[in-house]
Amino acid sequence: MSPAWLEPEIARLRGAYAAGRLPHALLIHEAPGAGGEWLAGWVARLVLCTSPREGAPCGHCAACQRAAQEQHPDLTVIRPVETSTQIRIEQVRELAAELTLTAHQGGYKVGILSPADSMNRFAANALLKTLEEPPQATLLILVASQPSRLPPTILSRCQRVRVRAPQQADAVAWLEAARGAGDWERVLAVLGMAPMTAAAADPAAVVEVAAEVRHGLEEAAEGGGDPVATAERWARSELPLRLACVENWLTERIRGRLVGHAVFTEVRAGTHLRGHGDSLDLRQLFGLLDTVRELKSSFDAPINRGLALESLLRALGTRGA
């Protein structure tokens, strides 16, 4: 089942392909976890499918099935390797060499780079050569949630496709079809409107971790708990998920504080503010939010996450001005 929120882009791409107007390079600019890579795979199947064009991608032919498993000889998918967070120049060179070969199937050769904004400068330069002089019948698909990190010379050579975060109802419907029943509303509230990220997660575990983090934060905000033990535990397991939970919690508190000053009242935020609404001021909350976001973006940096979390928990418990 294709995600409902991608239908407009799917229709546009199908039309372009039928009219022979598909460009050599697409940049799929996605909201994080909203399905950019899914759409890239769909486009690959669209051009590799051996059924008549109007029915492509059929999903049944050998080409569709091989492409879906990333086993098609005319499809190359590049991602950061293992623990690396970057796509490296050697990977791009291999892709470029592959694209110059004759297609096994006699049609398109497709290269997908995901996330393309994880290319380092050298890799991006290497890709530029292919983008400037694309071999016949090649299609490069770049998937990125932060395309501004790519050089303008790359961006200007790609046709942009926008994938926005879905409405919750569409995301939940798709998750139920893909993964079965689960508390997907709560999972999406924790992970953000990122159904593809949610699909790869264990919904029960996400809900459990979120509840535990919430409890730890409430406790710390009351000046209680054991910041050292809590920080060590959080740093050891499910850290990215926990940081997302901390970020959400802080954002809710900031929103609650802002709403308190506005004419509007928001019942949802009120439940988390009960009892300790005055402990931290807005500036401190924003400061903590910056700290969390820094931690989130520095997974491969050699910093002591346990210590950073501990000071964050302690800061929550201190009384502000």
Does the footprint of Zn ion cover residue 10 (CB under 5 A)?
no
Question: Residue from 51, 120, 168, 284 that binds Zn ion (CB under 5 A)?
Answer: 51
- As a whole number of angstroms, the distance between CA 217 and CA 249 comes to 8
Does the footprint of Zn ion cover residue 58 (CB under 5 A)?
yes
The interface region with Zn ion, picked from 43-51, 75-83, 94-102, 217-225 by CB under 5 A, is 43-51
Q: Is the Cβ of residue 48 or residue 213 nearer to Zn ion in the bound state?
A: 48
Does the footprint of Zn ion cover residue 4 (CB under 5 A)?
no
Does the footprint of Zn ion cover residue 49 (CB under 5 A)?
yes
Per-residue binding string, Zn ion, 127-166, x by CB under 5 A, is: ----------------------------------------
- As a whole number of angstroms, the distance between CA 6 and CA 9 comes to 6
Q: Is the Cβ of residue 64 or residue 193 nearer to Zn ion in the bound state?
A: 64
The interface region with Zn ion, picked from 48-56, 147-155, 169-177, 219-227 by CB under 5 A, is 48-56
Q: Is the Cβ of residue 50 or residue 159 nearer to Zn ion in the bound state?
A: 50
Q: Is the Cβ of residue 74 or residue 117 nearer to Zn ion in the bound state?
A: 74
Shortest Cβ 72–Zn ion spacing (Å): 11
Does the footprint of Zn ion cover residue 89 (CB under 5 A)?
no
Q: Is the Cβ of residue 48 or residue 196 nearer to Zn ion in the bound state?
A: 48
Q: Is the Cβ of residue 55 or residue 275 nearer to Zn ion in the bound state?
A: 55
Shortest Cβ 159–Zn ion spacing (Å): 23
Q: Is the Cβ of residue 51 or residue 86 nearer to Zn ion in the bound state?
A: 51
- As a whole number of angstroms, the distance between CA 292 and CA 250 comes to 9
Does the footprint of Zn ion cover residue 284 (CB under 5 A)?
no
Does the footprint of Zn ion cover residue 61 (CB under 5 A)?
yes
- As a whole number of angstroms, the distance between CA 34 and CA 175 comes to 12
Q: What is the bridge-based pairing of β-strands 25-30 and 159-163?
A: parallel
The binding site for Zn ion (CB under 5 A) comprises 49, 51, 57-58, 61, 64
